[in-house]
């Protein structure tokens, strides 16, 4: 047994080295042994050294990083890794990676591609249905014993015939649109450019909101989209309007959204993401017309397995000089 362990340790020294600053959830749950057979994982989170000391000690052997939104790859980290060639993130978004420095140095970036698109779309439509049909609030009403005391619960709204504006018609937005079509919704969208799709295009988000009964936020967080859903957009959406966000919290001006919800200037919200996670404005916790999730829209056991396989595929592509499976660019 000792000989076997010694042989395995010796073998691992010859595997390509991949830095893991903090373990991405899919790696923790499914992929540690799966990935460790192919690469030597340098786990900074297990070291007694500070992160800076750890990076300096391994600087000339690290060619790849495996990260997630919880472990930002900052300019300071990149500057300590002169041999770095690839950053693989377990997320679809890349706003936690210093993309300008990666571009400047020719460091490739691979993301989750379309792995999470179906799960995110399912969750987005689920949140929309929940808010419009008052499912979570009706559940709470019943559990509190109010049915027998007060009587019938207020009516919800149907989906069919509703105008739903999608902000960001990428992989996730397109899957949301397909699902909404099946419910008989009229799909509209805003994106960086017009797409070859049978949906009405609005180049202005305010105009999209004014013509929608609900807004579905499916875009990435960039300098251009940060707080793009502001008070003006919410007032254009109106008192009967719903907001669903499965993109990033900071795409919405959260303080203004809270004010609009509290004062009845929009009708409700279904939120999977928030501006300062894991902290959620306490006002949202008290509103029956708001459905909340702890940033779990894209996470299923099936997608985690697929993601581990994709991460390994991207790392193997780097070390065998093949094209990446899911190259990412800043949007």
Kindly tell me the sign of the dihedral angle through the C-alpha atoms of 15, 20, 25, 28.
Answer: positive
Flag whether pLDDT at 7 surpasses 50: no
DSSP secondary structure string for all residues of 168-225:
--SHHHHHHHHHHHHTT-EEEEE-SS--SSSSEE-SSHHHHHHT-SEEEE-PPP-TTT
- Confidence class for position 1, pLDDT limits 50, 70, 90: very low
Domain 2-115+301-319 shares a fold with domain 117-292: yes
- For residue 251, the number of C-alpha atoms closer than 13 Å in the C-beta half-sphere is 24
Answer for the pair 20, 41: CB distance below 8 angstroms, yes or no: yes
117-292: CATH class: alpha beta
Q: What is the pTM of this model?
A: 0.85
- Confidence class for position 31, pLDDT limits 50, 70, 90: low
SS3 52: helix
What pLDDT digit, counting tens, does each position of 257-273 carry? 999 999 999 999 999 99
Percent of the chain residues topping a pLDDT of 90: 81
Please compute Rg for the chain using Cα positions. 23
Give the largest CA-CA distance in the chain: 73
Known catalytic residue at 98: no
- Confidence class for position 30, pLDDT limits 50, 70, 90: low
Query: What integer is the mean pLDDT of 219-236?
Result: 96
The one catalytic residue in 277, 283, 309, 331 is: 277
| Residues facing residue 87 across a β-bridge | 65, 109
User: So where are the chain's domains?
Assistant: 2-115+301-319, 117-292
pLDDT at 32: 66
Segment among 85-94, 160-169, 252-261 with least mean pLDDT:
85-94
Helix or strand holding residue 65 (H, E): strand 64-67
Rounded Cα–Cα distance for residues 151 and 155 (Å) = 12
Known catalytic residue at 316: no
pLDDT at 4: 45
The one catalytic residue in 58, 96, 98, 248 is: 248
Rounded Cα–Cα distance for residues 142 and 128 (Å) = 21
- Confidence class for position 46, pLDDT limits 50, 70, 90: very high
Which of these, 248, 252, 281, lies nearest to 266 by C-alpha position? 252
- Confidence class for position 331, pLDDT limits 50, 70, 90: very low
Rounded Cα–Cα distance for residues 131 and 189 (Å) = 20
Answer for the pair 282, 261: CB distance below 8 angstroms, yes or no: no
The one catalytic residue in 133, 163, 295, 331 is: 295
Rounded Cα–Cα distance for residues 183 and 203 (Å) = 25
Known catalytic residue at 295: yes
Answer for the pair 93, 220: CB distance below 8 angstroms, yes or no: yes
Flag whether pLDDT at 305 surpasses 90: no
CA angle 102, 106, 107 (to 5 degrees): 55
Q: 2-115+301-319 has which fold? A: Rossmann fold (3.40.50)
């Amino acid at each position: 047994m000792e000989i076997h362990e010694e042989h395995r340790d010796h073998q691992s020294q010859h595997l390509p080295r991949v830095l893991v600053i903090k373990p991405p959830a899919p790696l923790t749950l499914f992929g540690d042994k799966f990935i460790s057979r192919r690469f030597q994982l340098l786990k900074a989170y297990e070291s007694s050294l500070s992160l800076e000391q750890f990076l300096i000690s391994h600087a000339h052997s690290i060619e790849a990083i495996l990260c997630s939104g919880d472990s930002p790859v900052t300019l300071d980290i990149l500057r300590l890794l002169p041999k770095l060639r690839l950053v693989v993130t377990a997320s679809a978004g890349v706003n936690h990676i210093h993309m300008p420095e990666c571009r400047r140095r020719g460091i490739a970036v691979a993301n989750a591609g379309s792995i999470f698109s179906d799960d995110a779309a399912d969750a987005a439509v689920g949140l929309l249905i929940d808010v419009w049909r008052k499912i979570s609030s009706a559940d709470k009403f019943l559990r509190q014993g109010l049915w027998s005391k007060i009587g019938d619960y207020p009516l919800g709204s149907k989906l069919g015939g509703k105008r739903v504006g999608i902000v960001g018609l990428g992989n996730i937005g397109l899957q949301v649109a397909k699902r909404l079509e099946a419910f008989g919704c009229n799909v509209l969208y805003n994106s960086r450019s017009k797409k070859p799709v049978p949906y009405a295009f609005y180049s202005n988000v305010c105009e999209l909101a004014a013509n929608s009964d609900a807004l579905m936020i499916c875009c990435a967080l960039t300098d251009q989209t940060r707080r793009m859903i502001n008070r003006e957009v919410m007032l254009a959406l109106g008192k009967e309007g719903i907001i669903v966000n499965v993109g990033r919290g900071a795409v919405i001006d959260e303080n203004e959204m809270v004010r609009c919800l509290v004062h009845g200037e929009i009708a409700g919200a279904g939120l999977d993401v928030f501006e300062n996670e894991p902290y959620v404005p306490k006002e949202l916790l008290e509103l029956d017309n708001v459905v909340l999730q702890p940033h779990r829209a894209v996470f299923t056991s099936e997608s985690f397995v697929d993601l581990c396989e994709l991460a390994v595929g991207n790392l193997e592509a780097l070390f065998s000089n093949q094209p990446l499976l899911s190259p990412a660019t800043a949007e």
